[in-house]
Amino acid sequence: MSQTRHDTFRAGAGVVDVTPSVPVPMSGFGARTGLCAGVHDPLYARAVAVGVPGADPTVLISIDCLGIDASVAEAVRLGLAPLATERIAVVATHTHGGPPVLRDAFLGETEDRVMDRLVSGAVPAARAALAALAPAELRFGRSIAAGVARNRRQAAGPVDEDVAVISLWRPGASVPFCALVDFAMHPVVLGSDNRWLTRDYVGYLVDGVEESYPGCMGMFVCGCAGQINMGHLAADSWSTQPTQTRTFEVAAAIGARLVEAAREAVDHRSRPVLPGSRVGAVFHELSLPMSEPVPAVVDALPLWSSELEEARSAGDDARAGLLSGVVDWANARLALGTGSEQAGSHDTVLQAFSWGDVDLLFLPGEPFVEYGLALKARHGPRLMVCAYANDAPGYIPTAASLPEGGYEIDSAYRYYGLPGPFTEQAEALLLGACETLLVALAADTLDG
């Protein structure tokens, strides 16, 4: 990897609407079945490109969807060739108000037209950002959004209240042309009863940032939010009964609170990002071990099938929706034949960018909040941790959380199409790989 030192950034931004034509099925809640009622607010692919003269730029693409299917990430990279793989990151905002987008999961059947639209939106958004590359100043700031996020597994459990913002400015401009906001909380303000396509609170946050800075493109990345939401239990989403705490009005209020925090970060807490050496990028493949399914598929399938039939007979659509995903997963596992119930592993990727003296670390799936907190504690406040990136292997719990069980550990892996939950060794492997990646990134950007 070559190094080119320079003291000036070049940056650009682009956005494309990826809202599918309706009606489409919705994903994100197993209890919710049927088609959407329409579009509450559009879904987008947003991209920002950052580089320095004399070196290839990096591109970050954020798509309003539940997760990034590895095949989608690969298709986007192919669409941006000859730009190197390690210089293209694709993340999901993780809204639960969109259509099914994970082909190997049991979270709703994907449609080719929807999947094609993701790629045909993400690639042009990235190309628009690349075409707009021009001299720019980057600023980085953090503020706190106290009391917004909650740990749904532990009432007093850890949360990450940081609102980190990278703002990008043209020389002499009075407002940024792009603001990238990172916050660690599930976009699940809207629950299983919602039947409208929506970005959830993320839409209000991004739109509010754009209203605050005319001409600015807002952009969102979600931090390590595996067990972090606005306070409700995972089981609260297993019913389609409406609740007054999970409405568009509540999502708007949360979005407005985060806009305040983002503005505080941009207007009062930002410092210039120092270009230093070139804009760097590294890519790392990692295999995470998984344990055997809980309970064993061959023993549990008859019971699950019976319960599914009972739910359908009783007209309990919500319970039938939850059980159908589990039964489909079990049948798929058994169809694989001998060894399908044994411990396996999942091959995934980590990625990191350096934009001057700020690093962006991209993690796959839904890491528990402790990962983000630990990484920032070790590597300092100039690290932005972005989850839901490049792959969707479901929840990645900590070793300490595994004996506690619960939805994220005991059953969610089925909906993601995985053979079993991750083992306690996964935490050390993931954090060790992050350390290796950030060391390699520092060498890439500082050598020469």
Q: Is the pLDDT of residue 4 over 50?
A: no
For 16, the 3-state DSSP assignment is strand
Task: Please tell me whether residue 249 adopts helix, strand or coil conformation.
Answer: helix
Task: Give dist(CA 417, CA 345) in Å, integer.
Answer: 12
Domain ranges across the chain: 9-279+359-407, 292-335
Task: Kindly report the pTM of this predicted structure.
Answer: 0.96
Give per-residue pLDDT as tens, 186-230: 999 999 999 999 999 999 999 999 999 999 999 999 999 999 999
User: Which residue, among 100, 78, 103, 117, has the nearest Cα to 32 in the 3D structure?
Assistant: 100
Average pLDDT over residues 94-121: 97
Q: How confident is the model at residue 3 (pLDDT cuts 50, 70, 90)?
A: very low
When pLDDT is cut at 50, 70 and 90, the band that residue 298 belongs to is confident
CB 91 within 8 A of CB 62: yes
DSSP 81: T
Q: Name the residue among 165, 173, 257, 183 with its Cα closest to residue 215.
A: 173
Instruction: List the structure tokens of 141.
Output: 């700031």
